[in-house]
A and B are shown apart, each in its own frame.
Chain A
Amino acid sequence: MSGPAGTLQVRELAFAYPDGRQALFGVNLDVAAGERVAILGPNGAGKTTLVLHLNGTLTAGAGSVTVDGLTVGKPTLREIRRRVGIVFQDPDDQLFMPTVRDDVAFGPINLGYRDAELAARVDRALALTGMSGAADRAPHHLSFGQRRRVAASTVLSMDPSILVLDEPSSNLDPVARREFADIVLSLGLTTLIVTHDLLYALQLCPRSVIMDGGRIVADGPTEQILGDAELLAAHRLELPYGYVLP
């Protein structure tokens, strides 16, 4: 029952928080294997709520989420969390172990890996983000950019088929920002990037969707979406001052 690795289907997904506030009103989204898609939208559009459905942290009120042909639900939760790696916005929320190595090992240990196999996964995940040299350091002694790279390693060690990055460029200086983009591009994974940073979306994602008011209101090539000034303005998005699309 599993489909090709790295595919995602979201069908008519709706969700209301326990306090009654409805955050998603029937979201539909298809992502093909290897695709990189930016999810753009103003604050409160429902982007984070959507992300938390992708690995079953929140349970759909209606509709469904399917990853690699597996529908997200109680029986598939363990496998879904292996397949969908979420890198949260604040690395301090994600990195909680005393050393980088322990943190990168946390996910694989939950999946049952031990000893040599565990060590191999940790080493590989750290190598992918260029953080091998920091394995025995404490996360709070690293720079913000390094912590974000380690946070990415903590999900890469689980060998996900879909990578979800929540505001990956926030708080990064220009060099760290480019370094992180290079890492994302080098991985070649199906990647969803939630961001306000339209130029980062342009750099990393051939395709973008705009979310607003709990719905997907636009879906197309990133250049085309960013070229539509009216569409952007209608959803509280805009390019940085003085920027003209290439």
Chain B
Amino acid sequence: MGGGHGHTHVLFVHHDSGVHRLAPQCKVVATVLFVFAVVATPREAFWAFAVDAVILLIVALAARVSLRRWARRCLVEVPFLLFAVFLPFVGTAPYVQVGPLLLSEPGLWGAWNIAVKGTLGVAASALLTATTTVPDLLRALERLRVPAALVAIATFMIRYGEVLAADLARMRIARVSRGDDPRWLWQVRGLAQTAGALFVRSYERGERVYVAMLARGYGFGPVARAGQQAPRRSWARALSVPAAAAVVCAAALTVG
């Protein structure tokens, strides 16, 4: 039971702003194009990445997203950055002496490249999710002609992720209530069996969900929903962001 209160939207920030009101498909396309423009920018052009960061900052301010919250969202990137940290140590010659460490120069460039482009990409997607609700994101994918099966899988994952998490939490509480307190590897039996039971339950739920869908005429009608066209203005405003990044990228490629 327990409808679950207090976790209404994990990522979305409730505000009303010009950025929030843009059609979601425009924002998805703008985000993807922005990331492409950033990735295409040569890594030696430090100034270009600074300009890209300022562009995102302007969008964040326009969307009234709290900078601290935005920064916290970006922390999901940290595990991926750990990989980049290794590069200067395992890279090839030439080497440079940095304090007591002898670091590979191509490795340093590689690490910088991953770190700066990754961070800008994560920051852009964090802005997208902060200004667009999950249902809107799914609808955007639908309107962008992403295959219906893929959108359906994403929809199910989001909807039943919460149900599964609640199931898992209940099973854990029931286990712990009976004195299970796994701390060591040889005590994982209960946990493993929980995972097994959860798998079987989910499989059975999947079948029940499908029967309930069939009962409402699934498979007879066209699955796709009539797409709602986004107004031109929405496209123009959303695409101005990747356009600016593209200009920066082009300038960096020519100026160097």
Chains A and B come from one and the same complex: yes
* CB within 8 Å of A: which B206-256 residues: 208-209, 211-222, 225-226
Contact A111 B212 (CB under 8 A): no
B135 touches A144 (CB 8 A): no
Q: Which residues of B contact A90 (CB under 8 A)?
A: 208
For B1-33 the 0/1 string (1 means CB < 8 A from A) is: 101110010000000000000000000000000
- Interface check B47, CB cutoff 8 A: no
Main secondary structure of the interface of B (DSSP, over half): helix
Judge whether A88 is part of the interface by a CB distance below 8 angstroms: yes
Known: A57-B211, A57-B214, A93-B212. A98 touches B155 (CB 8 A): yes
Binary flags per residue of A174-200, CB closer than 8 Å to B gives 1, else 0: 000000000000000000000000000
A56 → chain B closest CB, angstroms: 9
Chain A hits for B1, CB < 8 A: 144, 171
Whether A111 contacts B163 by the Cβ 8 Å rule is no
Chain A 92-106 interface residues, beta-carbon cutoff 8 Å to B: 92-99, 102, 106
CB distance from A65 to the nearest CB of B (A): 14
Would you call A52 and B159 a contact (CB within 8 A)?
Answer: no
A55 to B159, Cβ gap below 8 A? no
Are A99 and B135 also in contact (CB < 8 A) when A52-B211, A111-B217 are?
A: yes
Q: A110-B220, A140-B163, A171-B1 are in contact. Are A98 and B214 (CB under 8 A)?
A: no
Residues from 17 to 73 in B contacting A, C-beta threshold 8 Å = none
Number of interface residues of B (CB under 8 A): 33
Further pairs besides A96-B212, A110-B216: 13, Cβ < 8 Å: A86-B215, A88-B212, A88-B215, A92-B205, A95-B159, A96-B156, A98-B158, A110-B217, A110-B221, A111-B217, A141-B4, A141-B8, A143-B3
Would you list 20 pairs from A and B whose C-beta atoms are within 8 A, ordered by A residue? Answer: A57-B211, A85-B215, A88-B211, A90-B208, A95-B159, A96-B155, A98-B135, A98-B155, A98-B158, A107-B217, A109-B221, A110-B220, A112-B222, A114-B226, A138-B8, A138-B135, A140-B162, A140-B163, A143-B3, A158-B217
> Shortest 10 CB-CB distances between A and B: which pairs?
A110-B217, A98-B135, A107-B216, A110-B221, A93-B208, A78-B220, A81-B217, A94-B212, A86-B215, A140-B162
